[in-house]
Structure 1
């Protein structure tokens, strides 16, 4: 199911369909999204630590941390959904039950 997602650029010369290019583009986009979310979590944690008891700054840092974690969860969820959907639509054989059962 996740064949293209584990090593998407291994055979870049063998891309024959638009789906191959889309898989690589989605991998890059999800990687960038996850990296930005991780950086935002780190920066908001530093911001919280350096708030030094300022309630307004601490609240702002908590909100930033919350939104960063939500963004990371959404990125991971979207990656998983795309992997499942692409696996469903790229199956070579779809078993169908006989009509006369």
Structure 2
């Protein structure tokens, strides 16, 4: 499924190969979040990084975008490109879900 050309939420789920790899993924995604939340990406409405409690291996990113073009611009950032480069060595699973806001 591709990103819609309207406002949407993206939920990205990554499962790290181990605790050390999870810490590295968190570090990489934190750099992405800082850029996204610093208004460097005008079409990114919000970007929130979460991790399973107690240092778990599952990392979930909640992202809100204006449209597909905003996501494309986000994915072109140097920080995202670096994550994409390193992710195959750090993660055992990666999934994305595109969601519409139902309420409110």
| TM-score range normalised by the length of the shorter chain | 0.3 to 0.5
TM-score (norm 1): 0.33
TM-score (norm 2): 0.32
Structure that is richer in strand per residue: 2
Structure that is richer in helix per residue: 1
Query: Structure with the greater relative contact order (CA < 8 A, sep ≥ 6): 1 or 2?
Result: 2
